[in-house]
């Protein structure tokens, strides 16, 4: 009986130490990949696909990350969340998601050989996750400076968010949530880029 009490006391002390932050939980770490999941709400009505629009060529000349801590993305249920080790590759993969949104993206080159190409400089200003026992959320904020030649077209911020149930606090479900938040920011960016290609005012 005395041994059982000692084991129980040790378990209580261990749990208290973990809650107090004395024992660092195993971090969740994102992958450099970008799965580009559907950004539509799960209960959204199916929308008939529109006729495929002509591709819009865009040169991305820079992707900057101005967050104070590039490797820390927050925490979920007490577990720290880390960005991929190669943040530059990760962000390039994310921006590559514009390709499926009607934007013919090229990096640091005028791949379409246009005389006066559409150029974007992109800055990641926020990428953060947080959560409690039952749900978690991700928020991302990008800034895009869009121009053609020396003419400025638009400078604006594009926010993407996602909220999901916290089923298992696993890496995979966290990755999908962050990808959806990134994808929603890309949806807004792509709309303005397509408008610029068509010579129309920004959509937002």
Q: Considering the domain boundaries, does residue 148 fall inside one?
A: yes
pTM of the model: 0.79
CA distance 204 to 201: 9
Domain count, the chain: 1
Q: Considering the domain boundaries, does residue 44 fall inside one?
A: no
User: What's residue 78's pLDDT?
Assistant: 81
Radius of gyration for the alpha carbons in the chain, expressed in angstroms and rounded: 21
CB 102 within 8 A of CB 83: no
Q: What is the pLDDT of residues 163-179, one digit of tens each?
A: 887 655 566 788 999 99
Q: Considering the domain boundaries, does residue 141 fall inside one?
A: yes
Dihedral pair phi/psi, residue 141, rounded to 5° = -140, 120
CA distance 29 to 31: 7
Mean pLDDT score of the chain = 81
Task: Compute the average pLDDT of residues 179-189.
Answer: 96
Q: Considering the domain boundaries, does residue 49 fall inside one?
A: no
Q: Considering the domain boundaries, does residue 47 fall inside one?
A: no
Domain range for residue 188? 23-30+54-197
Q: State the CATH number of the domain containing residue 109.
A: 3.30.160.150
Q: What is the pLDDT of residues 2-59, one digit of tens each?
A: 544 443 444 433 344 344 444 447 888 999 999 988 888 765 554 444 455 557 999 9
Listed ranges 50-64, 99-113, 157-171; the one with the highest mean pLDDT: 99-113
β partners of residue 142: 124, 158
Strands 118-131 and 56-65: parallel
CB 172 within 8 A of CB 154: no
Tell me 32's DSSP state: S
Tell me 96's DSSP state: G
User: What's residue 52's pLDDT?
Assistant: 55
pLDDT band at 131 (very low <50, low <70, confident <90, very high): confident
Task: Compute the average pLDDT of residues 61-88.
Answer: 93
Per 3-state DSSP, the chain is made up of helix, strand and coil in percentages (nearest 5) of 30, 35, 35
User: What's residue 38's pLDDT?
Assistant: 85
Above 80 in pLDDT, residue 155? yes
CA distance 169 to 165: 9
């Amino acid at each position: 009986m005395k041994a059982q009490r000692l084991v129980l006391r040790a378990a209580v002390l261990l749990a208290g130490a973990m809650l107090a932050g004395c024992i660092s939980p195993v971090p969740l770490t994102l992958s450099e990949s970008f799965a580009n999941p559907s950004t539509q709400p799960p209960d959204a009505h199916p929308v008939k696909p529109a006729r495929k629009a002509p591709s819009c060529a865009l040169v991305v000349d820079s992707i900057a990350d101005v967050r104070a801590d590039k490797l820390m993305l927050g925490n979920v249920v007490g577990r720290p969340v880390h960005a991929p080790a190669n943040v530059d590759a990760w962000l390039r993969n994310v921006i590559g998601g514009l390709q499926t949104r009607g934007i013919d993206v090229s990096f640091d080159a005028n791949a379409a050989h246009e005389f006066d190409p559409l150029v974007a400089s992109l800055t990641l200003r926020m990428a953060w996750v947080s959560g409690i026992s039952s749900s978690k959320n991700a928020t991302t904020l990008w800034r895009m400076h869009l121009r053609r030649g020396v003419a400025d077209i638009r400078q604006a911020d594009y926010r993407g968010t996602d909220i999901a149930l916290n089923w298992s606090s696993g890496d995979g479900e966290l990755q999908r949530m962050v990808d959806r938040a990134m994808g929603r920011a890309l949806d807004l960016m792509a709309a303005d880029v397509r408008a610029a290609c068509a010579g129309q005012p920004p959509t937002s």
